[in-house]
Structure 1
Amino acid sequence: MNSNTINIFIIKFYYMEYIISTTIYLLKGTYVTISLYLVTAIFSMPLSIIFAALQFSAPKFVRYIFDIYAWLFRGTPLILQLIFFYYGIPLITNNKIAFPAFTSAAITFVLNYAAYLMEIFRAGIESIDKGQYEAAYVLNLNYRQIMTRIILPQAIRKVLPPLSNEAINLIKDTSLVIVLGIGDLMLYARQVLTRDFKLIPFVIAGIIYLLFTFVIVVLFRNLEKKYVIRS
Structure 2
Amino acid sequence: MSEATGEWQPSALQLERTAYRRGRARRSTAIAGISSLVLLALVVIGVGSTPGWPRVRETFFNFHRGWEALPVVAQGLWLNVRVMLICAVLIVIFGLTLAIMRTLRGPIFFPLRVFAAAYTDVFRGLPLLLVIFLLGFGVPALQLRGLPNQAVIWGGAALVLTYSSYVAEVFRAGIESIHPSQRAAARSLGLSYRQTLRFVVLPQAVRRVMPPLLNDFVSLQKDSGLIAVLGVIDAIRAAQLETAEDFNFTPYVVAGLLFVALTIPLTRLTDWVARRQGWYGGGGGVV
Q: Same fold (TM over 0.5)?
A: yes
Task: Give the SS at the match of 1:53.
Answer: helix
**Structure showing greater relative contact order (alpha-carbon pairs closer than 8 Å, 6 or more residues apart):** 1
* Equivalent position to 2:163, from 102, 113, 116: 113
* Equivalent position to 1:127, from 170, 174, 177: 177
- Percentage identity across paired residues of the two chains: 29
Task: Give the SS at the match of 1:55.
Answer: helix
**C-alpha deviations, 1:103-128, integer Å up to 9, x for none?**
11122211211111001100111111
* Equivalent position to 1:39, from 80, 83, 86: 86
Q: Which amino acid aligns with 1:142?
A: S
In structure 2, what is the Cα distance between the partners aligned to 1:179 and 1:123? 33
- Backbone CA RMSD of aligned residues: 1.9
In structure 2, what is the Cα distance between the partners aligned to 1:95 and 1:137? 48
1:215 Cα deviation (Å)? 1.6
Q: Which amino acid aligns with 1:123?
A: A
1:4 maps to what in 2?
Answer: none
**C-alpha deviations, 1:26-71, integer Å up to 9, x for none?**
1011111101100111111122112211222261111111111111
In structure 2, what is the Cα distance between the partners aligned to 1:204 and 1:189? 8
Size of the aligned set, in residue pairs, is: 217
Unaligned runs of 5+ in 1: 1-10
TM-score by length of 2: 0.71
In structure 2, what is the Cα distance between the partners aligned to 1:202 and 1:94? 34
1:220 Cα deviation (Å)? 2.5
**C-alpha deviations, 1:115-151, integer Å up to 9, x for none?**
1100110011111111101111101111111111111
* Equivalent position to 2:247, from 194, 197, 200: 197
1:22 maps to what in 2?
Answer: 69
Structure 2 residue 230 is the aligned partner of structure 1 residue 183: no
Q: Which has the greater radius of gyration?
A: 2
Task: Give the SS at the match of 2:232.
Answer: coil
Q: Which amino acid aligns with 1:212?
A: L
1:5 maps to what in 2?
Answer: none
Question: Structure 1's 192 and 75: CA in aligned 2 closer, same or farther, altered over 3 A?
Answer: same
2:29 maps to what in 1?
Answer: none
C-alpha contact (below 8 Å) 2:140/2:148 kept by paired residues: yes
Question: Structure 1's 90 and 22: CA in aligned 2 closer, same or farther, altered over 3 A?
Answer: closer
1:101 Cα deviation (Å)? 0.9
Task: Give the SS at the match of 1:198.
Answer: coil
2:41 maps to what in 1?
Answer: none
Unaligned runs of 5+ in 2: 1-57, 280-284
